[in-house]
Amino acid sequence: MRFSYTPFKTQTPVISLGGRSSRPRPVVCVGVVGPVNANPVDAVIDSGSDETLFDESVALSIGIDLTNAPACPCGSILDQIVTARFANVTLRMTDGIEFREWPAWVGFVPNLRRSVLGFGGFQQFFTTTLYGDDEIVELVVNRLYPGI
Amino acid sequence: MDSANGKPLAPDNNWLTTEFFENRRKFPEAELMKYAGKHIAWSWDGSQIVASADSMQELHEQVNALGLDSSRVVYSYVDRPDAIYV
């Protein structure tokens, strides 16, 4: 699967990018499927993230009860710590040409700004190539990929 | 994967189509920037924003209040133009 980076407009020229007026980010849409519903959610592919994370309201919407879910502290590079609660879901992704669906353990945290596709649940199953020159991300299933 | 007219077929109708990606790319940037810092819900064909809120939880509540099928919108966030994200 191949996806173009999404350009996000900036208020001021981006110094590090030669003064361009947008920042490209590898944001893709992933379907989060639970026992009663599915939520298609935009998420950023982040090679520095340990886990795949969604907002807690997604869990509620797809029918997952997090009351007794396994939990662990989740920190960011800005030193904020929140509790992530984990559940097994099905993730679904397409670029309109290739269709992929696989089971994954993902974390749910409160008040998440943007969902994150990290190593656990996502990058462990794909060879992820980020083409900085063409601003394209390429995802190829690897030998651990457990889906269809 | 099966195909028809050279185009792959989705396993069922729960998958986004190329139309969604094309429409989102064509969505006017100035219109999108009105939602900077907001959580938004895109229509299934990617041609319009059907709901917006300050948090994902509020967005879910709004989608439900509008009677929309929560599995047939795409939840997103419009990054603030004045911030870098790490």
Task: Quote the mean pLDDT of chain B.
Answer: 89
pLDDT surpassing 90 at residue B7? no
Q: Does B74 touch chain A (CB under 8 A)?
A: yes
Task: Quote the mean pLDDT of chain A.
Answer: 95
Specify the pTM.
0.93
pLDDT value of residue B9:
66
pLDDT in tens, A112-138: 999 999 999 999 999 999 999 999 999
Q: How confident is the model at residue A145 (pLDDT cuts 50, 70, 90)?
A: very high
Strands (E), A60-143: 71-75, 81-94, 99-109, 115-117, 126-131, 136-141
H or E element in which residue A21 lies? strand A20-25
What is the least distance, in Å, from the CA of B70 to any CA of chain A?
6
pLDDT value of residue B13:
79
- For β-strands A2-4 and A136-141, DSSP reports them as antiparallel
Q: Does B35 touch chain A (CB under 8 A)?
A: no
Neighbours of B2 (CB within 10 A): 7
Mark yes or no for CB contact B81/A9 under 8 Å: yes
Q: Could you tell me what percent of chain A has a pLDDT over 90?
A: 91
pLDDT in tens, A65-112: 999 999 999 988 777 899 999 999 999 999 988 999 999 999 999 999
Q: B69 burial class (0-12, 13-18, 19+ CB within 10 angstroms)?
A: exposed
Q: Which residue of A has its CA nearest to B70?
A: A39
User: What is the distance between the alpha carbons of residues B45 and B39, in angstroms, rounded to a whole number?
Assistant: 18
CA angle A127, A128, A129 (to 5 degrees): 120
**Backbone phi and psi for residue A33, each to the nearest 5 degrees, phi listed first:** -110, 125
Q: A61 burial class (0-12, 13-18, 19+ CB within 10 angstroms)?
A: buried
Residues of A with CB under 8 A from a CB of B: 8-12, 23, 25, 29, 31, 37-42, 44, 55-58, 60-61, 76-78, 92, 94-99, 101, 111-114
pLDDT surpassing 80 at residue B8? no
Name the H helices within A10-138. 56-62
Instruction: Taking the CA atoms of B24, A127, A30 and A118 in sequence, report the sign of the dihedral they define.
Output: negative
Residue among A29, A94, A113 whose CB faces B77 most closely: A113
Question: Does ipTM surpass 0.90 in this model?
Answer: yes
User: What is the distance between the alpha carbons of residues B36 and B33, in angstroms, rounded to a whole number?
Assistant: 5
